[in-house]
């Protein structure tokens, strides 16, 4: 009888956890217009905190330093957004041409496989591609991104308050808890803050360098959509394991479709692969230190989950959120085992 009660108790707890997660997911979905700008502002705040610390070390008043950083960052993001939107529209306009090139390529492959028992039905394959639907999806994505730029004001209001109040948490902890408890919590929070800031700042810096170098490589070789592909590389660099692979394949495929059987796609592939190898194997470990070693399966699950919840912005934030969660779990003794389970 006692065993039955224990089993029922465990089953009840499991059901409560599942229901709680389901309700939490709905809340995240409904609160997307507020939570996405807030999480993006947290991400940006941690990424630009080293710059704020540097300006303060130069005796620049904190208020002026925050104002300078916010104005410059706002201007750069808005300018980059406008350029990306223009590049994206150019890509959508060029889509029929690239689909025709894919059709010709598949036809050529099909003709070379005529002696095989199976046949590649090119018209049927191309017929599966609904060009109008693809175009609408791409325009919808670009529109969502442009709407995100319209939320920049809200994001930077959050950033101002986060940066202005970042040093007050220690005082609040000291007033809220007993001295021994407050001292312990302050050390934990300081360690958490440093690790999260280091990860986000360094990862953002490496991603910017990687995206910029890929953009320059594509410009040198005359590949279309260099800026758009550079931005895609910047975003994919946050995804461990397979992010860099995808970021190498996409520009190479575009170069191949543009230049055909020339050596240009090969040189593009080699240049991007060498750049990624140097950054991934030497620069990143040197600056980042100990790797987070997130499980690829967990990363894929996070991308799908946050993409479903918050769309493109959710996919951009998925891995940083997962990394920050792992850092937090590592610093709490009772949850350290969960951080180990999240590793490779």
Contacts 24+ apart (CB under 8 A), 43-47: 43/200, 43/317, 43/320, 44/73, 44/155, 44/159, 45/158, 45/159, 45/162, 45/163, 45/166, 46/196, 46/197, 46/200, 46/201, 47/200, 47/201, 47/204
Q: Flag whether 46 is in a domain.
A: yes
Instruction: Find the domain containing 45 and state its range.
Output: 33-167
Residue 152: predicted pLDDT: 73
Residue 146: predicted pLDDT: 55
Q: Flag whether 217 is in a domain.
A: no
Residue 77: predicted pLDDT: 77
- Number of domains observed in the structure of the chain: 1
pTM: predicted TM-score of the whole model, two decimal places: 0.73
Helix (H) and strand (E) counts for the chain? 14, 0
Q: Residue 160: is it exposed, middle or buried by C-beta count within 10 angstroms (0-12/13-18/19+)?
A: middle
Q: Flag whether 263 is in a domain.
A: no
Which residues, given as ranges, of the chain have pLDDT below 70? 1-10, 105-150, 241, 288-292
Q: Residue 37: is it exposed, middle or buried by C-beta count within 10 angstroms (0-12/13-18/19+)?
A: buried
Q: Flag whether 138 is in a domain.
A: yes
Q: Shortest CA distance to 229 belongs to which of 244, 245, 250, 208?
A: 250
Contacts 24+ apart (CB under 8 A), 335-342: 342/294, 342/295, 342/298
Structure tokens at 188: 């934990």
Residue 213: predicted pLDDT: 93
3-state secondary structure (DSSP) of residue 343 = strand
Q: Flag whether 11 is in a domain.
A: no
Residue 160: predicted pLDDT: 85
Bridge partners for 294 per DSSP: 343
Question: Would you give the end-to-end CA distance of the chain in angstroms?
Answer: 41
- Is the distance from CB of 164 to CB of 67 less than 8 angstroms? no
């Amino acid at each position: 009888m006692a065993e039955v009660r224990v089993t029922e108790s465990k089953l009840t707890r499991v059901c409560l956890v599942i229901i709680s997660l389901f309700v939490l997911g709905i809340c995240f979905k409904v609160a997307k217009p507020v939570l996405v700008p807030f999480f993006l502002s947290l991400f940006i705040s941690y990424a630009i905190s080293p710059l704020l610390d540097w300006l303060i070390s130069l005796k620049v008043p904190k208020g002026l330093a925050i104002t300078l950083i916010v104005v410059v960052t706002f201007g750069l993001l808005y300018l980059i957004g406008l350029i990306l939107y223009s590049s994206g529209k150019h890509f959508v306009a060029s889509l029929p041409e690239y689909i025709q090139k894919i059709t010709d390529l598949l036809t050529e492959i099909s003709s070379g496989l005529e002696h095989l028992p199976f046949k590649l039905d090119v018209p049927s394959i191309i017929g599966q591609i609904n060009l109008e639907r693809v175009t609408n999806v791409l325009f919808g994505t670009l529109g969502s991104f442009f709407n995100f730029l319209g939320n920049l004001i809200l994001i930077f209001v959050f950033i101002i308050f986060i940066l202005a109040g970042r040093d007050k948490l220690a005082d609040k902890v000291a007033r809220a808890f007993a001295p021994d408890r407050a001292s312990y919590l302050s050390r934990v929070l300081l360690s958490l803050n440093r690790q999260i800031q280091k990860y986000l700042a360094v990862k953002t810096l490496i991603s910017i360098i990687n995206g910029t170098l890929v953009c320059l490589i594509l410009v040198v070789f005359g590949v279309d959509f260099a800026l758009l592909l550079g931005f895609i590389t910047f975003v994919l660099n946050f995804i461990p394991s397979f992010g860099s692979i995808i970021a190498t394949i996409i520009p190479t495929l575009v170069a191949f479709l543009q230049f055909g059987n020339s050596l240009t796609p090969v040189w593009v592939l080699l240049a991007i692969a060498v750049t990624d190898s140097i950054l991934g194997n030497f620069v990143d470990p040197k600056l980042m230190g100990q790797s987070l070693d997130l499980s690829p399966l967990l990363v894929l699950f996070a991308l799908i989950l946050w993409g479903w919840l918050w769309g493109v912005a959710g996919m951009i934030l998925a891995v940083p959120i997962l990394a920050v969660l792992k850092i937090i779990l590592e610093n709490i003794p009772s949850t350290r085992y969960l951080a180990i389970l999240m590793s490779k």
